[in-house]
Chains A and B, each alone.
Chain A
Amino acid sequence: MPRIACLASALLLAATLQSAADEMPWDFARLMAEFAQVQTSRAKYSEIRHVAALREPIALSGTLYYSRPAHIEKRQILPFREVIQVDREQLTVEREGKTRTISLAGAPQLAALIESLRATLAGDRAELERIYDVRLEGSRERWSLRLIPRDAEIASLIDSISFAGSGSRVSKVRILEPGGDSSVMTIQHES
């Protein structure tokens, strides 16, 4: 008898806790915490870039791979094959058999751009807030994150970066530039 009573109370407690969790207010900290749980993720992406000098937008597609805490791989298939890998401070671009390495420490604008994605995926709140002014809207199921660069030199190239997603999955990345150019990436998760 006492054993059944214990079990029952335990189940009741668990159920209460679960519903309580569902009802706790969801915020930026919790979003970041959820992202921090993700070890790896793989996705397909398709990107549309609007460039002022071009008549029509550029369409790109390929796969994205992320591994905690700082490894990102972007394998582009269309319109030409290119593999970009980022590991902490090093960026490697491989195209037509040739590899080029860039040290991000010496390229602050590029670093800021990449950091926006990496810090979000890693749930690195401190880093994200250091470079960008962060605004979060929506709920856990449908949220959107708007990043505005703090540094003037980076702001001269990027107006804002917006992430949209659900839970710990990013579904859309939009980069807006001062000249009117923009880039929108749509992401389809595989795992």
Chain B
Amino acid sequence: MKSYPRASLLVWVALVAASLWWVARQAVFTTELTAVLPASGSRAQQFLLEHLRSGGASRTLLLAVEGGEPGELARASRELARALAADSRFDYVTNGSAEYNRAARERVVRYRYLLSPGVSPAQFSEESLRRALRENLEQLASISGLVFKTMLARDPTGELRRIGEASIRDAPASRNGVWFSPDGARALLLAQTAASGMDAVQQQDALDALESAFAGIKAGPGVRLLASGPGAFAARTRAAIRHDSRWLTGLAGALVVLILIFVYRSPATVALSALPVLTGLVTGVAAVSLVFGSVHGLTLAFGATLIGEAVDYPSYVFAQRRQGESVLEVLARIWPTLRLAALTTVFGSLALLLSSLQGLSQLGVLSMVGVLVAGLTTRWVLPALAPATPPPRELPFSLVRAGLAMRRAAWLVWLLLAAAIAFIAVRHDRVWDDDLGHLSPLPSSARELEGRLRADLRAPDVRYLITAGATSREAALERSEIVALALEEGVRNGLLEGFDLAARYLPSEQTQKRRQAALPDPGTLARSLARARQGLPYRENAFEPFLRDVETTRRGPLLSLEALRGTGLDLKVMSLLASRGGEWQALIPLRDVRDPAGLRELVQRMPAEAHANFLDLKAESDSLVGGYRAQALRLAGVGALAIALLLYAGLRDLRGAFRVMLPVYAAIAMTAALLLASGAGLTLFHLVSLLLVLGVGLNYALFFNRAELGTESERETSLALSVCFLTTVAAFGCLATSRIPILSAIGLTVSIGCALSLLNAMVLGRAGGRGRSAN
């Protein structure tokens, strides 16, 4: 076997340098979850993505201040709100206090005759006016007359009260002028971040800003700030995963290094072992960035897992060195097998490239390029760099011999395999768990807090949503009004507690014009009012302001979005409308849905021109994940076929190919059955871990395949496989101890899968044929 040490080193250095430069300068890393989800899909799914990315609900943080007297908490709430309003990371913040409502209230008063659902021609008839005036007399006599009086002259028909009815129903309890939980223990605030709720990094940024703002207001001792919401969950999940994975990776790395030093007895060799996988990772990331323009954090995480098998390549080389042998000579012996091992993974990843999901195709590129480069590095660069060192330690046992001894119990393995397959077949409809919520590392107390705050703040449901679609903003508003009318019936029947819509704050032009037309001209109104006043003790000119206001509205402009600027209502309206391309959707968030099935039926019965849609966001996102996972599974199947063909071509022996594949697939089936038996379903992360097990297990079987009993290859193979197995289990075993379900899922699956692969290879493999000479 030839080696061109100088040339290989030059090429390698150039490749690594180029990749590093590209990654450092040009590569864009994104952390937004929705970037890995499909670009096509059903309309509901597309809309869901848009809503998840930029929708108001995903950007809303629910805040509470507790641990003090109501007065103290109210003060803290006011100061915190002021501090956050000045921070550009928050679009708006509100705590129910008048200072945030003042501009909005002024606008509502001014446009009340266009906003009130009570405005109709009959509202200003003589009978209706008389009834209103009589009621007002009673109000004046009553205890609340003091407060009621202020708007009497301007709004005798009570339009403001009618407008306020819906928002009072939706508003949280109030104390000391700010929002409070009903028991007065927590002051409440709502803040909307500028960043998307799916962007964990930016959400963490916002949370940090929140903490420092709270520290800045110097509330009393014992006063705490609580924050919850989708963005907070995303940020905390990411932080928990990072924290655990950092220190566990450190621990795993240390263990692996210890094992390798013990076996190789040479630190230089251990250091060199890291080279192929690191080279593979760097070039893989650069390749993904080149092809796709950006690299997603999830790709990086999954890809690093898959490339993990490349950590074994140097072990196969170094552990099989004989006394006085150079690395090149070892390679000469094992290169065909090692090449086949690397190629099986490359072929397996080829299938992922074909995926329509960017997340999966990125993974395919990373894995392919990474493993290929790692293999090439092992072949060309290691011989150039490897020093002359003593051969590795000898093991006191032989895996091959142990395997032979266990051969008698092969029937047990077959039995377990059959049981595993039967178990999976019985549960075939409950195998996959696409609900990523089950993998949340956050404790149940976090979810409880969310539920409590959401109820206290009367915030909308995150799961159910109704939309009305149209081709323009006005049409969307009009259609949402039709939906609202029907939804009122739902509220009366107890299907849900309440809902919100943009048209409540900005009615469609059609509705506004209708109300404007219902306002009588000044002469008619004055006459009706005069007749209605007869017999009642009102002064003659008591309602001049009312007449003036009606006339101003009758002749004046309609309420527009521009007129709402600066009041906070414009932001509210915009957060309740979504547009994509030329399509508009009016969002109708729901509060406290008590009967989802009944509500769905209600929406189906709505008039067709409303184009109303009932969305179960959780079901939609579960199906998105399910689609991703199903496609990954299908492509893995295609990849398995490609691997089978490759093995047949590489080993030139059908039975040999079968013998190599059987232990791995058996191990995968058994691992899956074990995981399912422990109660949970298999998630996307389990699937990726099993793909790694496939890669690693095939390598075990391939090398086991070439070991001959009674020869040097027996000892070498035994050592190599032991080292590979120990390092893999050490690394992923650490991961398995994590409290974070995602990390422990990956760690457990890989550890068990590799152990079973090795055992199966030992028991079911071909090694130890009688009388065969060393090849």
Interface residues of A (CB under 8 A from B): 49, 51-56, 58, 60, 74, 76, 79-80, 82, 84, 91, 93, 95, 102-103, 105-110, 113-114, 153, 157-158, 175, 177, 179, 181
Contact = CB atoms under 8 A, between A and B. Distances in A.
Given A53-B538, A56-B537, A157-B147, A93 B141 contact: no
Contacts of A110: 143-144, 146-147
Contact of A53 (B143, B153, B180): B153
B110 interface: no
Interface string B127-150: 000000000011011111111011
B140 A54 contact: yes
- A55, A74, A79, A91: most-surrounded residue (chain B CB, <10 A): A55
B173 A74 contact: no
Contacts of B363: none
Contact of A158 (B141, B146, B152): B146
B393 to A, nearest CB: 77
A109 B143 contact: no
Interface in B505-554: 537-539, 542-543
A4 B180 CA distance: 69
Contacts of B600: none
A105 B537 contact: no
B561 to A, nearest CB: 31
A102 B141 CA distance: 17
Contacts of B542: 52-54
Given A54-B140, A105-B180, A175-B146, 17 more contacts: A49-B140, A49-B145, A53-B538, A53-B539, A53-B542, A54-B539, A55-B538, A58-B140, A80-B138, A80-B141, A82-B142, A91-B143, A93-B143, A102-B144, A105-B173, A110-B144, A110-B147
A54 B147 contact: no
A171 B142 CA distance: 21
Contacts of B141: 49, 58, 60, 76, 79-80, 82
A84 B143 contact: yes
Contact of B146 (A79, A103, A177): A177
Interface residues of B, number: 26
Interface of B: 137-138, 140-147, 149-150, 152-153, 173-177, 180, 184, 537-539, 542-543
Contacts of B537: 54-56, 58
Nearest to A113: B146
Contact of B174 (A55, A56, A95, A106): A106
29 contacts: A49-B145, A51-B140, A52-B542, A53-B149, A53-B152, A53-B539, A54-B140, A54-B538, A54-B542, A56-B537, A58-B137, A60-B141, A74-B143, A76-B141, A80-B138, A80-B141, A93-B142, A93-B143, A93-B144, A95-B142, A102-B144, A105-B174, A108-B176, A108-B177, A109-B147, A110-B147, A177-B146, A179-B149, A181-B149
A166 to B, nearest CB: 26
Which 6 pairs of residues, A with B, have the shortest CB-CB distance?
A: A53-B542, A106-B174, A105-B175, A54-B537, A55-B537, A56-B537
- A51, A103, A113: most-surrounded residue (chain B CB, <10 A): A51
B145 to A, nearest CB: 8
A55 B173 CA distance: 38
Given A53-B153, A54-B542, A58-B140, A106 B147 contact: no
A175 B153 CA distance: 21
A108 B97 CA distance: 13
B724 to A, nearest CB: 69
Contacts of A114: 143
Nearest to A158: B146
A7 B95 CA distance: 70
Contacts of B180: 105
Contacts of A91: 143
A182 to B, nearest CB: 11
B140 A103 contact: no
